[in-house]
Structure 1
Amino acid sequence: MNNSNVKITAKEILSDNWYTLNKVTFEYKRKDGSWETQSREAYDRGNGATILLYNRETQSVILTRQFRLPTYLNGSEDGMLIETCAGLLDKDNPETAIKRETEEETGYKITDVKKVFEAYMSPGSVTEIVYFFVAEYSKDMKISEGGGHHEEQENIEVLEIPFTDALNMLAAGKIKDGKTIMLLQHAQLTGLLLKQ
Structure 2
Amino acid sequence: MGLASVVVTPVFLYGPLADITVLQATLPGLVAAEARAEGVQICCDDAPLPLAGLRRGLGAVDGWLVSEPHTVELVTFIAEALGLGRSDVITVSQGGCPVAARVFPGRPGPMDWDGQDWSRRAAPILRYAVQEILSLRGRIAAQDLCAGLPMILSRASGRVAAQTPAPADVRSATEAATVQEIACEITHAGFFLGRAYTLRHPRFDGTPSDTLRREVFVATDAALVLPYDPVRDRVLLVEQFRMGPYGRGDPRPWMLEPVAGRIDGGENPEDAAHRECLEEAGLTLRALEKISQHYCTPGYSTEFFHLFLGICDLPDLEQGRGGLATEHEDIRTHVIDFAQAMALVQSGEANNGPLILCLLWLERERARLRASA
Correspondence 1:3 to 2:176: yes
Q: Report the residue type matching 1:83 in the other structure.
A: E
1:72-107 C-alpha deviation (Å, 9 max, x unpaired): 221322210000001110111101111111111111
In the alignment, structure 1 residue 29 sits paired with structure 2 residue 202: yes
**Pairs within 5 Å for 1:82-121:** 82-91=256-265, 92-121=267-296
* Change in 2 beyond 3 A, CA 1:122/1:25: same
Match of 1:152 among 316, 327, 344: 327
Partner-residue secondary structure (3-state), 1:36: coil
> Which one has the bigger helix percentage?
2
2-structure distance, mates of 1:193, 1:166: 18
Distance in 2 (alpha carbons) for counterparts of 1:68 and 1:192: 33
Identity across aligned pairs (percent)?
A: 27
Amino acid at match of 2:198: T
Q: 1:32: how far off?
A: 4.8
Q: Residue 137 of structure 1 corresponds to which residue in structure 2?
A: 312
Does residue 38 in structure 1 map to residue 212 in structure 2?
yes
> SS of 1:40's equivalent?
strand
Aligned with residue 169 of structure 1, among 328, 339, 344: 344
2:186 corresponds to: 13
Give the Cα separation in 1 of the matches to 2:289 and 2:366.
Answer: 15
Q: Secondary structure at the match of 2:261?
A: strand
CA distance, structure 2, for counterparts of residue 193 and residue 154 of structure 1: 35
- The question of 1:61 aligning with 2:242 is answered no
Which residue of the partner structure matches residue 127 of structure 1? 302
Q: Is the 8 A contact 1:108 1:146 kept in 2?
A: no
Instruction: List per-residue Cα deviations over 1:138-196 (Å, max 9, x = no partner).
Output: 148xxxx6611112111010110111101101110101000000000000122257531
Deviation at 1:116, TM superposition (A): 2.2
CA distance in 1, matches of 2:285, 2:365: 21
SS at match of 2:272: helix
Change (3 A) 1:172 1:44: same
Q: Which moved more, 1:5-14 or 1:86-95?
A: 5-14
Pairs aligned (count): 192
Note if 1:47 corresponds to 2:221.
yes
Gaps of 5+ in 1: none
Partner Cα distance (2:331, 2:287) in 1: 23
Higher strand share: 1
- Counterpart AA for 1:96: D
After superposing the two structures, state which structure 1 stretch, 57-66 or 26-35, moved more: 26-35
Report how far residue 35 of structure 1 moved: 3.9
Aligned residues: CA RMSD = 1.8
**In 2: Cα distance, 1:44 partner to 1:167 partner:** 33
1:187 and 1:193 in contact (8 A); partners too:
no
Q: Residue 138 of structure 1 aligns to a residue in which SS?
A: coil
Q: Distance in 1 between matches of 2:176 and 2:247?
A: 37
What runs of 5+ residues in structure 2 fail to find an aligned partner? 1-162, 164-174
Q: Distance in 1 between matches of 2:259 and 2:305?
A: 12
Distance verdict in 2 for CA 1:112–1:195, change over 3 Å: closer
| Bigger Cα displacement from structure 2, 110-119 vs 98-107 | 110-119
Larger RCO (alpha carbons 8 Å, 6+ apart): 1
Residues 9 and 93 from structure 1, CA distance in 2 versus in 1: closer, same or farther, beyond 3 angstroms?
same
Amino acid at match of 2:348: G
Deviation string, structure 1 residues 112-143 (Cα, Å, up to 9, x no partner): 22222211111111101101111211148xxx
